[in-house]
Structure 1
């Protein structure tokens, strides 16, 4: 495994995915947990990097705030369709939910017909979850494809046990590149850590900026470096296990 170099807060800008990177993947996204001492370490890194620290996630920024409270941080949510460029600023949506109304209706009917599928409505994005039922992957893809049909201007992405649709024109890589043009990120070497196919956009953006791309887990990737799992990410970040615990993993 090609392990990444250590974080240098004096010159690096750190961008992190959330699910599968900072927290373990669980059947119900609302059940994830990150230990308070890990949040404290992230806050210390944010200070050490002079604020050049951001979360890039498929989740809404409000969800990230909930799990990482009391931290406040720069963030891109729903794959960049929400932005917060200042930790104390407001969340700015780049698109409204109304454009997804027709697709939302078809997906709502679809999950009623197949209750093992679950619809997550992010406002600016819609996600069909099939975690726990891997045999439903083709059904999830077919449902989203049928909902979108030939409608222009939408992007469909597959991730870990999900199929997601949102308005096209934005991804984690574009959000990262935009952040890098502003203080306190400008002039720093970006690092991006992520685990899923949607994080490949972030890896490509980082590599274009001569930064450091780190893939979490197995599977093909354009990233230059690897970390084995969430525990490995925590160790790389300098998060120490709680006394008496041999792992950072939390029971879901």
Structure 2
């Protein structure tokens, strides 16, 4: 077992996670790259109808202890998962919905990023291969369609948040994101585990990206089931090869 910073890095062997237990597990699932395949246009992703039906069945069998944990806004997750709603942590936990159909709570406001928006306007206009997604509580530069611009995208965001210790920069699959400090997916899952619907259960987390590592590390340390999608380095104990493998593990029936 090797070390990377403060986090342990484990084998990349595809180790199948145990079956979900309706009476014991609290299930937390990332969205992009986990439940759905990536798309160059994030607005065009789609979840298979059979997978959506299976999520609804899991939500019922687990007494509501199933949440979607994503960098996306909860309102956008609802569009992709319609007509269903789920407990959720959006924008890496800066948005929270404890129960399906419940109120969405915002832990930060968009005004914290006003100076960053202004600083990014001119450089983004001069580099059309990059695009900005404004989530209100987070700003994301996308370079998936222009991978050679990954370094300029990072430098641009770093310059925009210079001297802002209250903000955190994160890199993910084809993106550079900035949002208020003090929150990540691990903290979001830990907070949700204190809520009545999840409390007393064993946490299960499945995710594919660097931003999921916070949650995977938390769940493993908490004695839960940590599942990495893909072959990238991870603190997760278990692995699944891809989105299709996750669907099979969840029990989604092919059509």
TM range (shorter): over 0.9
The number of residue pairs the alignment matches comes to 242
1:41-190 matches, cutoff 5 A: 41-190=54-203
Give 2:247's aligned residue.
234
Deviation, 1:88, is 2.0
1:202-252 C-alpha deviation (Å, 9 max, x unpaired) = 01111222101000011100000000000001111111111xxxxxxxxxx
Aligned mates of 1:36, 1:183 — CA distance in 2: 29
Deviation, 1:87, is 1.4
Aligned mates of 1:170, 1:2 — CA distance in 2: 29
Aligned mates of 2:200, 2:99 — CA distance in 1: 18
1:86-119 C-alpha deviation (Å, 9 max, x unpaired) = 2121111100000100001122222111011010
Extract structure 1 runs of 4+ deviating beyond 3 A. Answer: none
Which ranges of structure 1 fall in alignment gaps of 5 or more residues? Answer: 243-252
Deviation, 1:6, is 1.0
Aligned mates of 2:122, 2:31 — CA distance in 1: 30
1:155-186 C-alpha deviation (Å, 9 max, x unpaired) = 00000010000000001111100111111211
220, 228, 234: which is aligned to 1:215? 228
Contact 1:108–1:119 (CA under 8 A) maintained in structure 2: no
Q: TM-score, normalised by structure 2?
A: 0.93
Aligned mates of 2:123, 2:215 — CA distance in 1: 31
Q: TM-score, normalised by structure 1?
A: 0.94
